[in-house]
Structure 1
Amino acid sequence: MTPSTGTVYTYFHHANFPGAAICCREHTAKGSGTMRIPVDKTSPLPLYTQIARFIRHRIECGALPADTRLPAIRVLARELGVNRITVETAYAELEASGLVAARVGSGTYVLPPYSTPARSLPRGNAPCGASPARTPDAASDPWPQWQHHALHRHSFLSAPPAIPLSSHSPQADIIALNSGNSDPRLFPVDQLRASLRETLRREGWKAGEYEEVAGYPPLRRTISHLLADQGIPAAPQDIIITAGSQQALALACQLLTSPGDSVLVESPSYADGLDLFRSRGLRIIPVPMDEEGMRTDLLPALLKEHAPRLIYTIPNFHNPTGICMSGQRRRQLVHMAREHGIPLLEDDFVGELRYEGHAQPALKALAHPGDTLYAGTFSKMLMPGLRVGYLVAEGPVRDLLIRCKRLNDLSSSGIIQRALHRFVSVGRHRAHLARSCQIYRKRRNALLQAMAEHLPQVRIAPIQGGLFAWCTLPAPLTAGSLAPLALHHGVAVAPGTAFFLHPEQGAAHLRLNFALHDPETLQEAVRRLAAAIRQLEAQHGVMA
């Protein structure tokens, strides 16, 4: 650490050159040098994530070649002024990503890449350290300028996603509460296998052709019947099959917005939705929430000031808070959107997973025809790997969305759509949904009981349905500090920072997925989380 700047310098030694250090930014006359790891302890980003992200970037850009030995955990922790657990967690994340591996009695080393670029990186050069705004010297940077321009323009995409797609941790001893999925062990694998076999037996090669862009007509008719049971008007011709509700959201953004436009969203909101809006160059206007959902009393001023081109909302069992928007708020939202001529995009990803209370009408059911787009999915209740969702749209915009769908992926898998139609149409879907609701209700109760027993100081928003518990930590604890400690104790949680436009607003929050594990496992997960919180409270000098 230099006295004048306080910057931490860490040496990375290469196994084949024990006397030399791999340096990213500068070299001395003797060929050795230093590599600085910037650690910002005031950032809402967890320290272990900052360390892992920095090392990952250096590995991926070639500045840390294969067989580079990383500093010992204890040494790096001392030099950075952080806890050993923080560095252990950072190394564990890199190892889980296949970037490094620990050698017993020797240390942690960079692994060879899965593939080598056509042009090898010159030893000792640091293309990753160059500013995207400058034209890199061709002699020292093999990557073309357009790649740096893309990195600069979409810099937020260079960070790994905060929420994993997989339901379970790659480490067997970690209890994962950070996923956004339902329990894969409840997926109706045998029934879907039978539907696939029957589809291929009956339809043969026809099932393997390109499907209609809007989707397999019998499946669209079946979805129309399912929605009608929920009081949602949707004619089959107004239903577009999509690759999950994520594609439905992407298609709506592609058609209805342009870079620089504003989109209104609840705050907090769906993490990948926020990233999608960022990727489209949209101005995200957050609308605060309370226990009744989006604060519609704030909408008149926001609509007047920002003139948004889209309002995105998750009214049923909101992600991440689990809040269900009140009936009065729904009617106010529909009325104001129509009054200002702004389309509503209603994301109903788990609306049927209700454990208590009365069902509220969908925005689509309250709105005039053509005012609202309605997105649904089979991913949460059947299998996310099916990638089957749908978008309900009426009027001229429907045909434009179908055209956009073709431009994006031509059509969704016909085989999967036909097999899903067979599964849903014989009533298995309803039986599976009823069984899942019963199981997840017990798991919700188990989590609430365990939290009341072991963590009474943590507040939990009411959970009437869905998959998530939204937790508020007592001051001065933060999710960024807790997440790596929790991982060290064997439980993975989703920090609330991932769900806000301004991450610091989520510093006191956690999202826990209670649907993934049985009651006994949830009890153990909460015990581990409680141990991590006790350790963090001790570090902060908080009295129990």
Structure 2
Amino acid sequence: MNKDSSIALLAQRLRAEARLLPAGERLPSSRTLTERYRVSPVTVSRALALLAAEGVVVTRPGSGTFVAERRAAGRPADFGWQSVVLGEGQGGVEGMARLLTPPPADAIALSGGYLPLAFQPLRALAAASARAARRPEAWQVPPLAGLPELRAWFAAPVGAEPSDVLVAGGGQAALWTTLRALLRPGEPLLMESPTYHGAIIAARAAGLHPVPVPMDGRGVRPDLLAEAFARTGARAFYCQPAFHNPTGAVLAPERRARVLEAARTAGAFVIEDDFARYLAFSTPPPPLAAADPDGTVVHLASLTKPTAPSLRIAGITARGPVAERLRACQLVESYYPARPLQETALELVTSPAWPRHLRAVSAELRARRDALVRALAVHLPEVELVSLPEGGMHLWVRLPDGTDDTALADAARAHGVIVGPGRPYFPAEPPAPHLRLNYNCTPTAEDLAEGVRRLARALRSRPSGTSS
């Protein structure tokens, strides 16, 4: 169990205990709670702080922790008026929240976007953070576009100048800033279909209209992309040319120039989400932006996925006037990413530990991919593996016709395995049922086979005749 879940569990137990005691009653000492629940003093302290913030207990220095006075019951609050004022909600956000919520302790996670704890570079991050924090300037206002050395590091794979890079607060923030800078509410945004569901949600939250462009095993179809530009008048196309989420596809070499040409002909931008560049099993393909001298491509790259969830640092590379628009947009929305995080990221990626970490992660993810493929062949031969990715964290599988992927994901959760239904990854109606299965989340590779066995039981236990 991770530390956060231990704190939440202890707080839940102490909350229940406090409800049975009269107001003013003293809770057991921290030492007693530590021994009773077999947790660390830090866990006890943070659990009590959580209850104090909720008003369940009050802490009196030198005296202990006491049950707080209970508020007198009043009439229930009426929030109905807010529904009228707020209008239509942001659909799909619940799915993103589920991805960021730790699974139940007894469940096997085959869905999620981060490395397991054992493969996060925690020691290297701790050392990098300590070195960064000792510098007094680390706590001051950074250069508004980011630390120059960090901008140079993000610029190198693209063949850009450091001045072309804006450091952002993680991949999702970089995407949000880019959408807001390039497009106005009500405009269309072309997107691969399927695509990263966080991009679909961000586009809709920005008031944009996602327009699907079909893809196959070699990436987006350039002929249909050109047709979509002509039909919609769209000014931007969002894509993931390398180790696409969710399919794992890599844009075929012969299609790269045609994608750029379609955008140039339409006078439109290409938003290249290069999220898995540092999760490749071998040398990744060059970014589309590396073949673009005219500023057609806005390139996004993040450090979060190959490191740890809270190292939320990304780079946006853009050439021409759009770069100034991006900087202005970020300045209005968030000023700049926290300088200590920027300093920590710079320390990490310029240390000898960084290439060693990437090699270890690459080897482990490849082994896990192979283990998951073997488990599917043995325990779920009725599903079809769409492609065998050479990077990234997931497989994309087609389910038997007539399967309701969302209902299957719910049934799988009941069987103790967490999977991602395919439906949210389509900007419009899905043509067939799919699942996204991650091989990066479980504590060990051995858990993958058990997860597939549980998924197989869920699939075969569904009522006959269930359809999508």
Instruction: Name the TM-score class by shorter chain.
Output: 0.7 to 0.9
Instruction: Write the distance in 2 (CA, Å) between the matches of 1:434 and 1:506.
Output: 37
Residue 148 (str. 1) matches residue 84 (str. 2): yes
Residue 501 (str. 1) matches residue 436 (str. 2): no
Highest relative contact order (Cα 8 Å, sep 6+), 1 or 2? 2
Aligned-partner SS, 1:284: strand
Aligned-partner SS, 2:278: coil
Aligned-partner SS, 2:243: coil
Instruction: Write the distance in 1 (CA, Å) between the matches of 2:205 and 2:448.
Output: 36
The amino acid of 2:95's aligned partner reads P
* Corresponding residue number in structure 1 for 2:311: 386
Instruction: Write the distance in 1 (CA, Å) between the matches of 2:171 and 2:406.
Output: 29
CA deviation string 1:175-196 (max 9, x = no partner): 0112122223211111111112
* Corresponding residue number in structure 2 for 1:273: 199
Determine if contact 1:293/1:326 at 8 Å carries over to the other structure.
Answer: yes
* Corresponding residue number in structure 2 for 1:36: none
Determine if contact 2:185/2:208 at 8 Å carries over to the other structure.
Answer: yes
Instruction: Write the distance in 2 (CA, Å) between the matches of 1:374 and 1:541.
Output: 45
Aligned-partner SS, 2:298: strand
Determine if contact 1:177/1:512 at 8 Å carries over to the other structure.
Answer: yes
The amino acid of 1:219's aligned partner reads L
* Corresponding residue number in structure 2 for 1:81: none
Give the 3 Å change call, closer, same or farther, for CA 142–499 of structure 1 in structure 2: closer
* Corresponding residue number in structure 2 for 1:437: 362
Shift of 1:461: 1.8
Give the 3 Å change call, closer, same or farther, for CA 259–341 of structure 1 in structure 2: same
Give the 3 Å change call, closer, same or farther, for CA 142–381 of structure 1 in structure 2: closer
Instruction: Write the distance in 1 (CA, Å) between the matches of 2:371 and 2:453.
Output: 13
Aligned-partner SS, 2:241: coil
Q: Give the alignment partner of residue 200 of structure 1, picking from 129, 133, 136.
A: 133
Instruction: Write the distance in 2 (CA, Å) between the matches of 1:274 and 1:121.
Output: 42
Residue 284 (str. 1) matches residue 210 (str. 2): yes
* Corresponding residue number in structure 2 for 1:252: 178
Shift of 1:312: 0.5
The amino acid of 1:299's aligned partner reads L
Shift of 1:155: 4.8
* Corresponding residue number in structure 2 for 1:367: 292
Give the 3 Å change call, closer, same or farther, for CA 467–506 of structure 1 in structure 2: farther
Shift of 1:214: 0.6
Shift of 1:156: 2.3
Instruction: Write the distance in 1 (CA, Å) between the matches of 2:181 and 2:74.
Output: 41
* Corresponding residue number in structure 1 for 2:382: 457
Residue 240 (str. 1) matches residue 166 (str. 2): yes
Residue 483 (str. 1) matches residue 416 (str. 2): no
- Structure 2 gaps of 5+ residues are 1-18, 20-52, 57-70
* Corresponding residue number in structure 2 for 1:212: 143
Residue 161 (str. 1) matches residue 87 (str. 2): no
RMSD: 2.5
Aligned-partner SS, 2:248: coil
Shift of 1:353: 2.3
Q: Give the alignment partner of residue 249 of structure 2, picking from 323, 341, 347.
A: 323
Q: TM-score, normalised by structure 2?
A: 0.80
CA deviation string 1:313-356 (max 9, x = no partner): 01111111111111111111011111211011100000232236
Aligned-partner SS, 2:144: coil
1:78-97 map, 5 Å: none
Determine if contact 2:171/2:300 at 8 Å carries over to the other structure.
Answer: yes
Identity among equivalent positions (%) equals 32
* Corresponding residue number in structure 2 for 1:296: 222
Determine if contact 1:288/1:294 at 8 Å carries over to the other structure.
Answer: yes
Instruction: Write the distance in 1 (CA, Å) between the matches of 2:226 and 2:167.
Output: 34
* Corresponding residue number in structure 1 for 2:188: 262
CA deviation string 1:126-147 (max 9, x = no partner): xxxxxxxxxxxxxxx45545x5
Instruction: Write the distance in 1 (CA, Å) between the matches of 2:155 and 2:334.
Output: 23
* Corresponding residue number in structure 2 for 1:134: none
Determine if contact 1:316/1:324 at 8 Å carries over to the other structure.
Answer: yes
Residue 179 (str. 1) matches residue 179 (str. 2): no
Q: TM-score, normalised by structure 1?
A: 0.69
Determine if contact 1:497/1:506 at 8 Å carries over to the other structure.
Answer: no
Give the 3 Å change call, closer, same or farther, for CA 506–386 of structure 1 in structure 2: farther
Shift of 1:164: 2.8
Residue 353 (str. 1) matches residue 279 (str. 2): yes
Instruction: Write the distance in 1 (CA, Å) between the matches of 2:401 and 2:300.
Output: 38
Instruction: Write the distance in 2 (CA, Å) between the matches of 1:489 and 1:370.
Output: 49
Instruction: Write the distance in 2 (CA, Å) between the matches of 1:188 and 1:445.
Output: 23
Determine if contact 1:163/1:179 at 8 Å carries over to the other structure.
Answer: no
Higher mean alpha-carbon deviation, 336-345 vs 372-381, is at 336-345
Q: Give the alignment partner of residue 334 of structure 1, picking from 224, 240, 260.
A: 260
* Corresponding residue number in structure 2 for 1:404: 329
Shift of 1:161: 2.5
Higher mean alpha-carbon deviation, 374-383 vs 277-286, is at 277-286
Instruction: Write the distance in 1 (CA, Å) between the matches of 2:449 and 2:435.
Output: 17
Instruction: Write the distance in 1 (CA, Å) between the matches of 2:145 and 2:90.
Output: 34
Shift of 1:483: 1.2
The amino acid of 1:154's aligned partner reads G
* Corresponding residue number in structure 2 for 1:424: 349
Shift of 1:428: 2.0
Give the 3 Å change call, closer, same or farther, for CA 452–272 of structure 1 in structure 2: same
Q: Give the alignment partner of residue 473 of structure 1, picking from 389, 399, 404.
A: 399
Aligned-partner SS, 1:156: coil
Instruction: Write the distance in 1 (CA, Å) between the matches of 2:461 and 2:386.
Output: 24
Residue 540 (str. 1) matches residue 448 (str. 2): no
The amino acid of 2:334's aligned partner reads D
Give the 3 Å change call, closer, same or farther, for CA 260–142 of structure 1 in structure 2: closer
Aligned-partner SS, 2:94: coil
1:111-122 map, 5 Å: 122=75
Instruction: Write the distance in 1 (CA, Å) between the matches of 2:310 and 2:261.
Output: 37
Instruction: Write the distance in 1 (CA, Å) between the matches of 2:437 and 2:99.
Output: 15
- Structure 1 gaps of 5+ residues are 1-66, 68-112, 126-140
Shift of 1:148: 2.6
Higher mean alpha-carbon deviation, 216-225 vs 292-301, is at 216-225
CA deviation string 1:280-315 (max 9, x = no partner): 111111001111111111123211110102110011
Instruction: Write the distance in 2 (CA, Å) between the matches of 1:254 and 1:373.
Output: 13
* Corresponding residue number in structure 1 for 2:41: none
Determine if contact 1:263/1:283 at 8 Å carries over to the other structure.
Answer: yes
Determine if contact 2:111/2:441 at 8 Å carries over to the other structure.
Answer: no
Instruction: Write the distance in 2 (CA, Å) between the matches of 1:477 and 1:510.
Output: 11
Instruction: Write the distance in 2 (CA, Å) between the matches of 1:509 and 1:300.
Output: 27
CA deviation string 1:345-396 (max 9, x = no partner): 100000232236x743321012223111000000000112111011001112
The amino acid of 1:485's aligned partner reads A
